[in-house]
Structure 1
Amino acid sequence: MFLLHFLLVTSVLQLSYTASIQDEYKTYKGYKLYRVVGDSQEILKLIKMMNQLAEIPFYDARGARGDILIAPELVQIFEERVRLANLQANVEIGDYSEIIRSEKTGSRRKGSDFSWTAYYDVDDIYKYLQNVSKSHPDSTELVVGGQTYEGRQILGLRINTPSENKSDNKPVVFIESGIHAREWITPATTTYFINELLTSNNPDVTALRDQFDWHIFPTVNPDGYHYSMTRDRMWRKTRSKSSTYCYGADPNRNWDHNWLQHGATNNPCDYQTYGGSKPFSEVETRTLSEYIASLENLLAYVAFHSDAQILLVPYSDSVEHTDNYDDLVQIGKTSLEYGRQVNGEEYGGPATAAEILYKASGGSMDWVREKLGTPIVYTYELRGSYFHWPAEKINEQGDEVTQMLLGLFKEAKNLGYY
């Protein structure tokens, strides 16, 4: 019976693959999002088996529960395997295409001013950065953090307001966003924060702006982000060609920190966590790391992801703590309390990913901490549901992030970090 199912699925998947090449946008019509509960090892075996059978666009295992997105032609074999493993599976989303349809409504509006009630493609984001640099010429400039496989620049904005003492060497803060293509809320929130820094009348926000030399990059994986906007909503990786049929590597598993040891795979066709052929095999991570390493007086590195709603500190693949772990926890708690006061939302952490999420090696945050010794390093996992957040509510998370960063640097100052 299993062999029959396998042959049937293989045939259907071949047709699906051929069709996907021709389709303008992958609809995910009929794809079901399952929540699986039971023995953690059986859940991992289930995910591994499904990945060997087909390209699974999304999966996530955390202890005794797992989430997995299943194509309609795989539903029967998936549910049979769940039964054989003595697991329980409930449908969380009956048709993922409905989420995509809702996101398309009102998003990527052509010819309109840049706003935070819609999601925009990379060209629109870059145009926004260019316009901002023109409208604030005394305090901002465009900066290029690296290059991409498809020939794009990794474009960011430097915000460094003039100081009375021109010899001031301000501490540098680097913000990374959008390293995973499908996490759309992160570039949107980051541009919102840029706007707050430059236009807010709140004296706390203007003081935050003026204290630091900011290097802010809304999307450090622009090829992947563009692909998720135009072809495949669940795309996460870069767009380099990694095999005859498969593309991309996970740019947050490709940094030279314990590469491929935990939470990554050497399978180029894995939709999520292929770590690349070697550390820094991806031009995006390689050139971005060179840019970061060139920054003098780097005080803080902050990365934004979604949507686990937690705050992470290094190291992501270990329960062993950095020498200033207690300080990072204290700073992080203050940050989260500032954010909570905006919308009443509680975040998990601060803690390492190995402690509260899963072990993951080869990430940017850990490389920055280990190789550069940057003292303040965090990853914020923002809110959402399976990478969806309503466009009309972007400002909610934008306001949270602004307050969380206010709290972060206030407490860092209290502890003498600057």
Structure 2
Amino acid sequence: MNLLKFIFLVISVVHFSQCAVVEEYKTYKDYKLFQVTSLDGVKDLIKEFMEFDDALVYSGNKTSAGILVKPDLVSIFEELVTMRGLNMELLVEDYSKIIEMEKREILRNDGFSWHAYHDVADIHDYLRNMSREYPNMTELIIGGQSYEGRQILGLRINSPSLHKKGKPVFFIESGIHAREWIAPATTTYFINELLTSSDPHIIAMRDQLDWHIFPSVNPDGYQYSRKFDRMWRKTRSKSANGCRGADPNRNWDYNWMKSGASSDPCDYQTYAGKEPFSEIETRSLSEYIRTLENLRAYVGFHSDVQMLLLPYSDSTEHMDNYDDLVTIGKTSLDYGYKVNREKYNGPATAAEILYMVSGGSMDWVRNTLATPLVYTYELRGKNFHWPPSRIPEQGDEVTQMMLGLVTEANNMGYFKTKVSK
């Protein structure tokens, strides 16, 4: 290792630091995406390689990872992989080409659609337009605000077929990690399906529940990922040392900093914040969630390890209705599988099939509010990319997953309606 570090110091240029002021778009020119697999050693490889690249971008699970490598670090990375006896495959030769393709799709599109990724303003305009178009069953809702002053804007869908105060509440949050673009896109797609579908099963699902849906709960980070750094994950708050952002899915007040998080404000991915709810986004959103009466279901959408996760993420011990959650989750995945024949891992806790992590929104909702149905869906993709032209593919999949979830939850009595007089 000492020799490798010496070689790196000799050949490296001054590398990009997240603590520096970013004035130009980070292109990721010639960055290479590798897939590394092993029954053991992937986690240690990432930890070791972060000594050379403190802004390392990676995703994966216990046995494999997609790792984005700077061009001047490729030889060192390959040597580390070889030394550990891991299997490696080059997936993308130049990641900037993928980013350029995403931007070209945006430029070709005029108006809101599900063949391009839209910015926060476009998403908010879409929500406003839908609230105007369907005034009898929708209303704009504000789930909080961001560090830079943006609203966490959502849409409530509550058709008048049942008494509004008697319906079970179904809460959806999406986009908590900025670079996971497919999550907000599929969430708006699902909103559109709830409001426009002629499928009687989808209509019945819409009418039965009081939906509170937020496509982008980290709007500052999402916008920054579009304008400056496609791989940005965190919020945009400023720490005392000048570094930016905290991981908003490590910042909730449940077993904060217990596992899977960093105390370093300059950590590119998993800094948990200076304290629980230090981020205004998580603090204000949690306050909104607390106000919801009869909250029966919570779903968070992430990407891109293709899994269905259950609480608690930092434990392999099972909660009291774990078996019910598994049964409902399997039905949800079965419904989704029929769309594209894509198999998801799980349902299980993150500690069992992904990695141990604490301080997440899902676990806080379950622990603090005792919400009975709580899930995190990790959607598909490769290193946070999903072709914009194929957004409907996952949109249809997610819609059916939600239909499967609601159908099986109904079968098991979780959505028994309490009608207020």
Identical aligned pairs, as a percentage? 62
Question: What is the aligned counterpart of 2:381 among 379, 384, 388?
Answer: 384
Q: Is the 1:303–1:379 contact (alpha carbons within 8 Å) kept by the matching residues of 2? A: yes
Give the structure 2 partner of residue 338 of structure 1: 335
Decide whether aligned partners of structure 1 residues 397 and 37 sit closer, same or farther in structure 2, where only a CA change above 3 A counts.
Answer: closer
**CA drift at 1:17:** 4.4
Question: What is the aligned counterpart of 2:158 among 145, 157, 160?
Answer: 160
Q: CA RMSD in A?
A: 2.0
Q: Is the 1:108–1:121 contact (alpha carbons within 8 Å) kept by the matching residues of 2? A: no
Residue identity matched to 2:10: L
Give the secondary-structure state (helix, strand or coil) at the position aligned to 1:176.
Answer: strand
**CA drift at 1:38:** 4.4
**CA drift at 1:169:** 1.3
Q: Write the distance in 2 (CA, Å) between the matches of 1:157 and 1:183.
A: 20
Q: Write the distance in 1 (CA, Å) between the matches of 2:411 and 2:196.
A: 26
Question: What is the aligned counterpart of 2:191 among 184, 187, 194?
Answer: 194
Q: Is the 2:18–2:244 contact (alpha carbons within 8 Å) kept by the matching residues of 1? A: no
Q: Is the 2:61–2:305 contact (alpha carbons within 8 Å) kept by the matching residues of 1? A: no
Q: Is the 2:62–2:353 contact (alpha carbons within 8 Å) kept by the matching residues of 1? A: no
Q: Write the distance in 2 (CA, Å) between the matches of 1:33 and 1:341.
A: 30
Give the structure 2 partner of residue 5 of structure 1: 7
Give the structure 2 partner of residue 348 of structure 1: 345
Deviations 1:59-97 (A, max 9, x none): 245334333211112223323333444444332221111
Q: Write the distance in 1 (CA, Å) between the matches of 2:346 and 2:137.
A: 34
Question: What is the aligned counterpart of 2:114 among 116, 137, 142?
Answer: 116
What is the TM-score normalised by the length of structure 1? 0.94
**CA drift at 1:13:** 2.8
Give the structure 1 partner of residue 28 of structure 2: 28
Q: Write the distance in 2 (CA, Å) between the matches of 1:371 and 1:32.
A: 42
Q: Does 2:327 align with 1:325?
A: no
Give the secondary-structure state (helix, strand or coil) at the position aligned to 1:89.
Answer: strand
Decide whether aligned partners of structure 1 residues 60 and 325 sit closer, same or farther in structure 2, where only a CA change above 3 A counts.
Answer: same
Q: Does 2:308 align with 1:311?
A: yes
Give the structure 1 partner of residue 172 of structure 2: 175
Q: Is the 2:164–2:210 contact (alpha carbons within 8 Å) kept by the matching residues of 1? A: no
Q: Does 2:68 align with 1:105?
A: no
Q: Write the distance in 2 (CA, Å) between the matches of 1:176 and 1:260.
A: 22
**CA drift at 1:346:** 1.2
Q: Is the 1:56–1:69 contact (alpha carbons within 8 Å) kept by the matching residues of 2? A: no
Q: Write the distance in 2 (CA, Å) between the matches of 1:369 and 1:19.
A: 35
Question: What is the aligned counterpart of 2:293 among 285, 290, 296?
Answer: 296
Q: Write the distance in 1 (CA, Å) between the matches of 2:136 and 2:358.
A: 40
Q: Write the distance in 1 (CA, Å) between the matches of 2:101 and 2:401.
A: 29
Residue identity matched to 1:12: V
Bigger mean CA deviation after superposition, 239-248 or 401-410: 239-248
Q: Write the distance in 2 (CA, Å) between the matches of 1:400 and 1:170.
A: 25
Unmatched tracts of structure 2, length 5 or more: 416-421
Give the structure 1 partner of residue 62 of structure 2: 63
Decide whether aligned partners of structure 1 residues 343 and 83 sit closer, same or farther in structure 2, where only a CA change above 3 A counts.
Answer: closer
Deviations 1:321-362 (A, max 9, x none): 110000001111111111111111111111111111111111
Q: Write the distance in 1 (CA, Å) between the matches of 2:278 and 2:157.
A: 30
Q: Does 2:232 align with 1:235?
A: yes
Decide whether aligned partners of structure 1 residues 343 and 86 sit closer, same or farther in structure 2, where only a CA change above 3 A counts.
Answer: closer
Alignment of 1:181-260 (within 5 A): 181-260=178-257
Q: Write the distance in 1 (CA, Å) between the matches of 2:152 and 2:252.
A: 17
Give the structure 1 partner of residue 263 of structure 2: 266
Decide whether aligned partners of structure 1 residues 132 and 400 sit closer, same or farther in structure 2, where only a CA change above 3 A counts.
Answer: same
Give the secondary-structure state (helix, strand or coil) at the position aligned to 2:282.
Answer: helix
Q: Write the distance in 2 (CA, Å) between the matches of 1:167 and 1:335.
A: 26
Number of residue pairs aligned between Structure 1 and Structure 2 = 413
Give the structure 2 partner of residue 149 of structure 1: 147
Bigger mean CA deviation after superposition, 219-228 or 69-78: 69-78
Q: Write the distance in 2 (CA, Å) between the matches of 1:249 and 1:134.
A: 35
Q: Write the distance in 2 (CA, Å) between the matches of 1:312 and 1:33.
A: 25
